[in-house]
Structure 1
Amino acid sequence: MFGALKSSLKAGDLRNRILFTLMMFVVFRIGAHIPTPGINADAMDALIKGGSILGFFDVISGGAFKRFSIFAMSITPYINASIIMQLLTVVIPKLERLSKEGEEGRKKMTQYIRYGTVVLAFIQAIGMAFTLRAANALTNPGIGSYLMIAVTLTAGTAFLMWLGEQITEKGIGNGISLIIFAGIVAALPGALYRIYQGLAAGTINIFSVIFLVVIAAMVIAAIVAVNEGQRRIPVQYAKRVVGRRVYGGQSTHIPLKVNQAGVIPVIFASSILLFPTTIAQFFQSSGISQWILDVFRWGGPTHSILYAVFIIFFTYFYTAITFNPVDVADNMKKHGGFIPGLRPGRPTAEYLDKILTRVTLSGAIFLALIAILPTFVLVATKIENVYFGGTGLLIVVGVALETMKQIESHLLMRHYQGFMK
């Protein structure tokens, strides 16, 4: 590993890309500590600890939401805009045609996503301003404060979007994913320090810490195995004679990933289940609101069951959007490809759909288990004020693997030995 790291620093272009990415991380962390004007920090901290959806945003933003910095919304509006654009591509023929127009179509789609990000960020920022006013977290409530907060947060999100695009273009890896990765990893030193304080004070047992480390290592290994796992469907291409040349005749495969949807289903399910508690917190004098808070309490039996069900549902939903067996079967037929033992066309599409359904079930159940397991681990070890969430682990491990693969490809192009053997 150290030899591969040394090789990566020898390659001039790769070294510059890595250094540029690290510099952008520094810019991101500096911005995460620049506060938004007009916010009561103490009230904001109490609101985060109340278990609302804002706590989930704080994890994604790497603590920027708790401080309510200019990057408080992180890059979530961009993610939402990208997801909405993918959904619209399926239902709007014009966008579907645009997505198939190559590089020019991709640039146009990216432009639409940028516009959508700014609009969603402004709407979300206005909603947050009113939410903070209801929680008495504004120092000077009024129209001016609302606009100041909305413009500041929207500008912060737009800057992060630009920062992510710069990392993708001039750095290494996917910039948007790396920004989320950096935000989550930034919370790790604080968590380790709180564990150390608990050990020193005697409130945390050393065996509980060892158990937590072992479980975390096993979960990370499982995430790596599932992210890399795939079902390979063999495909044979018939020979075609054009003039004096023979085309086709080779064998290949279609890789169906076990976790086709990534971490998107977990994010969707978390947002939906945390939304009722966030609304109920502003009407706590009502008996119905208290009942909602009890039912949807994080880590409770009802919450855990619903969480798992929603994750499985959204895994199938998102996989159906991103992988269309009919289109794959049609493309294979056009190029003379077929699955051995199956006729091209409809039988191939039905077979792919059948295999995809079974493979997706395994991935969906795995995502559900990873999402709810940390809750039970923290209850068993009685370690408090330490975040050990499945969503964070899925994002961190997935982004690390993808970035490592890109570094690996750069090294192999220069005939260096890579990280992976």
Structure 2
Amino acid sequence: MTDAGRVTCSEQTRTTPPLATDTAPTPRPAITALALAGGTAVLVGSEFVPAGVLPLLAHDLHVSEGRAGLAVAATALAGAVTAPTIASVLPRVDRRRVLLGLMVLALISNALVAVAPTLGVLLVGRMLLGVAVAGYWTFTFGVGLAVTGRPALVSTAMSLGTSVATIVGVPLASTLGDRIGWRAVFGGLIVATTASGLALARVIPSVPAHPGAGPEMMRQVLGNPRLLAGAAMVTLVAFGNFAAYPYIRVALHSVTPSAVAVLLLLWGIGGLIGNLAGGWLSSRLQLGVVLAPVILAAGLIVMTAHPNAVVVAGAVLAWGVGFNMVPVTTQLWVSRIEPRRVESAVALQVTAFQVAITIGAVVGGAIVDHRDVWTAMAVGAVAAAIAAAGFGAIRLVPRAD
């Protein structure tokens, strides 16, 4: 491991200047981090809720489930376009105002989806959500860093919000959708989005944009070969997960139909462990970015063997741990390697994730249709293993200029 990989968390805080140099750290960093995590949970929950109500949504709009699945793909595509460009569109706007504006956009999106009479209207609403999700992820780390001065806390909190959304939000939406209807589920998201926006408005102070924010910062970031290589590895490992994850229920049902709910909960528990482990490894990021895809690949490989329910349970737990380490460790990794251009570096990481979600779901679906779910998991494992090797080959050296 390089010396840079052993830099302590406090040293990272000193070498990574906040996006707003005149914003003093808050005396309540945990409350701020929780508010930011709440926004993440609401937005990510909104992004993936259609997966939990897909049959109901498709039936109500008189479309096939395959076409209804575009509700997730449209969000990811809009996010992939938004993440690298939004800072250039809003180079001087106070970041507090930006975050609150993005929450309002998510509110409009969920309201539009809740009343959508056709799939076309619904997809417009979902694209608005893609802008909100990508923008929020792009700016939140920098805002949290400026307000709290604690990068590991902010990154872990954001990933914790994602875990809560996927562990609680999607299964809950599925259960509620069967009882009260999918439109009512989106009505509940309207309430949750409003509450989260109000919490952010209360605890987040004014955070002026970084003086260098805009197209020039992104151009400089794109000139960093180590960062670009790291973004490619992020795409690979996220692709590996999303080529397999949409079909986890199919795989588990074929092994042990009676324990699917328990095993999905186990994946979620693994996710929580992975979030905490990613934060704990903030002082050893070179190890963290390699270990996360290794654990993910191991979990997926064991899943392909699926010899019995006990072994599959261990594989599912490892899968949850490995993948949920990835957002924390890679976000800290890109901010460490570009300490003076954190906003644009994180935007590149977000773009990598959104592209991977889109491509992974499409490729994974094609593999499942033409081969089987185990082949999709094997492909995911190979992608994750390549990403681990790639991260191991990239020196974690902060850019000096």
What TM-score comes out, normalization by structure 1 length? Answer: 0.30
Higher-strand-fraction structure: 1
Over alpha carbons, which structure has the higher Rg? Answer: 1
- Decide which structure has greater helix share: 2
Q: Which has the higher contact order (CA 8 A, sep 6+)?
A: 2
Per the normalisation by structure 2, the TM-score is 0.31
